[in-house]
Copies of this chain bind each other. A is one copy, B any other.
Amino acid sequence: MLNRLKEILTGPPLPTHQMMSKRLNKIRALAAFSPDALSSIAYANQEIYLGLLVAGSAGLALAWPIGLAITTLLVLLAISYYQTIQGYPSGGGSFIVAKDNLGTLPGVIAAAALLIDYLLTAAVSLTAGMDAIASAFPALLPYKVIMALVVLAIITLINLRGIRESGTAMAIPVYFFLITYLAMLAYGAVLAVIQGPGSFPTSAPTATVPVTLFLVLHTFSSGCTAITGIEAISNGIPAFQPPESKNAGKTLVIMAILMGLLFVGSIGLTQYLAVTARPDETILSAFAHRLLGNSIGYYIIQASTTLILAVAANTSFADFPRLAAILAREGFLPRPLSNLGDRLVFNNGILMLAGGTAALILFFGGDTHALIPLFAVGVFLAFTLSQTGMVVRWWRKKGRGWGAKAVANGVGALATLITLLIVCVSKFTQGAWIIVVLIPIFVTIFLRIHGHFKHVSAQLSMSGHAPSLTPGPPPRVVVPISGVHRGIVGAINFARSISPDVTAFYIEMEPGAAERVKNDFERWWPDVPLVIRPSPYRSIITPLLDFLDETDQEHHDGQQAVVVLPEFIPAHWWQTLLHNQASLMIKTAMLYHRRQRGFQRVMIDVPYHLKK
């Protein structure tokens, strides 16, 4: 039943060999990996606008220089990541690059930063998407959170179906967004040339604070969210069709050009035309309104913004599970995160991301502006570590033109490091501190898990003192019975088929019950000894464990008695709720009491299946 539902929702299982045919061509790859990067203009513009608005028109005049500074950073990072893609054709996420070149600790720091960041990207994209809808239809404002969660659920399902399906589904909104926005920007440019520059209406923004360096830096760091997502392709190289790194590199260049065009174009025109927004409206919405009025065109733009933001969350779904799987395979996260599901995707990672994103949206009540300060710390930390790693790599390898390459990555690293410091300082009290606290916590967890797996593999290793491979004599067998009935027949038969030394064991819960059991048992199995013990505290565990310990001590043979559990299994799963789970309790006790009791006992389940 559950399996059937799962198949309807996500499709039938796929064989492993189809892995290759699930690869993405460049058109689809751009759609799968770019929405995060492209869509970030929606909230980055908004953050720059809000940051400067408090300083009035003098403040808003700074949007253009800040925009240019961010675009420069974008170019530096694009060059940097292009080199990373060439250097790591098998997928060079920040984790791998940092770990390879700087060591395990910087590697897991980058990984922690990125995982947190993917979560935030998904949450911010979804809430910003709902902001765009609510700008066009203010009546929807109260339903932002629930709408964001519904979209999240849809994206999760699409991703559980598999990556090519998600590439296909995402292609439509991405290209729709590109076409409508580029067309609007072109139209705006023509309009700007014809109408000349606008000026801020006298009614509009009055300065409440002066333009300070802190204000500029704070706005710059908020605006840097525009660059997030540029690293997505370098993590996702294995999803490309061969030649992977060549295709990935080309896709990165195209994506960076599109990002730059959209960001510079929208922020430049907004300032040139002196657009301002109503309090319950985003600046991008006001900008589209200024150009297109209340025409159908305006609503198309808002729809395409919402759609690209909705699918931007999808970039996290492309990357988070993949990074979690890499970490799990290397023993920094639980193993199940590295399992390929029926549809050849890492479903555990997808579900974990979906859960975390939903929690973030609920916790912050769907408020984009509250989430943004948490956002950039992780990205820029990961950027810095991975670019630094690349510098070390070029320096060590010293291949052709290594100097120029090292300089390119070095400049990238320096730029992102400075940005990271600006972000941390200017937004520390607004929420960045949460990330500063979380990253060390995540890193500690990763390292402890890693330690555990190292211990396990040491304990499992066959090398060193060779284990004894000689089988012992047939075991002593104890069969706990709850009475004399058909449910125990199979267990006693099985016990006698593997050993001549079988003892039945009955616990008397209510005084006087033992007599009848003893008589019945001796009639059916006169040659099997039956031991009866009272249980003054009505526990079935303690008397059984005590008895087992006693027989082991009595026999001095260094062997532990084996327990054969008669277990009757109802015809329907819900019927198990109706019965006392004696055998389940015994099994659990065997597992968890062993530390106190010092044994590791073989348990044999002999089922007796009920028919109705």
A: residues with CB less than 8 A from B are: 13-17, 334-336, 339-340, 342, 449, 452-453, 455-456, 459-462, 467-475, 484-487, 489, 492-499, 510-511, 520, 524-525, 536-539, 568-570, 573, 575, 577-581, 587, 591-592, 594, 600-612
B17, B452, B489, B496: the one within 8 Å of A467 (CB): B489
Give the distance in Å from the alpha carbon of A418 to the alpha carbon of B414 in the complex: 88
B339, B471, B612: the one within 8 Å of A455 (CB): B612
Known: A489-B469, A493-B468, A600-B609. A462 touches B524 (CB 8 A): yes
Contact B485 A498 (CB under 8 A): no
Closest to A342 in B: B537
Contact B498 A486 (CB under 8 A): no
Contact A471 B497 (CB under 8 A): yes
Closest to A496 in B: B471
Give the distance in Å from the alpha carbon of A459 to the alpha carbon of B462 in the complex: 48
Contact B475 A462 (CB under 8 A): no
B residues in contact with A536, CB < 8 Å:
15-17
Give the distance in Å from the alpha carbon of A334 to the alpha carbon of B539 in the complex: 19
Give the distance in Å from the alpha carbon of A606 to the alpha carbon of B569 in the complex: 21
Contact B602 A573 (CB under 8 A): no
Name which of A453, A538, A579, A611 has the most chain B CB atoms within 10 A of its CB: A538
A–B Cβ pairs within 8 angstroms, 17 of them = A16-B511, A336-B581, A342-B538, A452-B575, A455-B612, A459-B486, A459-B611, A469-B489, A471-B493, A471-B494, A472-B493, A472-B497, A474-B497, A474-B498, A573-B592, A602-B606, A603-B604
- Shortest C-beta distance, A254 to chain B (Å), equals 34
B residues in contact with A455, CB < 8 Å:
610-612
Can you add 20 more A-B contacts, CB < 8 Å, to A602-B605, A604-B604?
A14-B537, A16-B536, A16-B538, A334-B578, A334-B579, A336-B580, A340-B538, A452-B570, A453-B578, A456-B570, A460-B486, A462-B485, A470-B493, A474-B498, A498-B498, A498-B499, A587-B605, A600-B607, A601-B607, A602-B604
- Shortest C-beta distance, A523 to chain B (Å), equals 9
Known: A498-B475, A612-B455. A469 touches B493 (CB 8 A): yes
Name which of A334, A460, A609 has the most chain B CB atoms within 10 A of its CB: A460
B462, B486, B577, B594: the one within 8 Å of A462 (CB): B486
Question: Top 3 nearest A-B pairs by Cβ distance?
Answer: A471-B496, A460-B485, A498-B498
Known: A335-B578, A469-B525, A578-B453. A15 touches B537 (CB 8 A): yes
B residues in contact with A334, CB < 8 Å:
577-579
Give the distance in Å from the alpha carbon of A587 to the alpha carbon of B49 in the complex: 59
- Shortest C-beta distance, A61 to chain B (Å), equals 49
B residues in contact with A493, CB < 8 Å:
468-472
Closest to A610 in B: B459
Closest to A494 in B: B602
Give the distance in Å from the alpha carbon of A187 to the alpha carbon of B334 in the complex: 72
B residues in contact with A573, CB < 8 Å:
592
B residues in contact with A342, CB < 8 Å:
537-538
Closest to A451 in B: B612
Contact A452 B340 (CB under 8 A): no
Closest to A486 in B: B460
B residues in contact with A591, CB < 8 Å:
569, 607
- Shortest C-beta distance, A572 to chain B (Å), equals 9
Contact A537 B13 (CB under 8 A): yes
- Shortest C-beta distance, A12 to chain B (Å), equals 10
- Shortest C-beta distance, A545 to chain B (Å), equals 14
B residues in contact with A475, CB < 8 Å:
494, 497-498
Give the distance in Å from the alpha carbon of A524 to the alpha carbon of B493 in the complex: 33
Give the distance in Å from the alpha carbon of A606 to the alpha carbon of B472 in the complex: 14
Contact B498 A16 (CB under 8 A): no
Contact A335 B580 (CB under 8 A): yes
B469, B537, B581: the one within 8 Å of A16 (CB): B537
- Shortest C-beta distance, A144 to chain B (Å), equals 26
Give the distance in Å from the alpha carbon of A524 to the alpha carbon of B485 in the complex: 44
B residues in contact with A474, CB < 8 Å:
497-498
Give the distance in Å from the alpha carbon of A496 to the alpha carbon of B580 in the complex: 34
Contact A568 B602 (CB under 8 A): no
Closest to A14 in B: B537
- Shortest C-beta distance, A458 to chain B (Å), equals 9
Give the distance in Å from the alpha carbon of A17 to the alpha carbon of B594 in the complex: 29
Name which of A334, A336, A497, A536 has the most chain B CB atoms within 10 A of its CB: A497
Contact A579 B335 (CB under 8 A): yes
- Shortest C-beta distance, A371 to chain B (Å), equals 28
Give the distance in Å from the alpha carbon of A605 to the alpha carbon of B495 in the complex: 15
- Shortest C-beta distance, A21 to chain B (Å), equals 14
B residues in contact with A602, CB < 8 Å:
494, 604-607
- Shortest C-beta distance, A2 to chain B (Å), equals 10
Give the distance in Å from the alpha carbon of A609 to the alpha carbon of B335 in the complex: 19
- Shortest C-beta distance, A300 to chain B (Å), equals 44
B residues in contact with A492, CB < 8 Å:
469, 471
B residues in contact with A570, CB < 8 Å:
452, 456
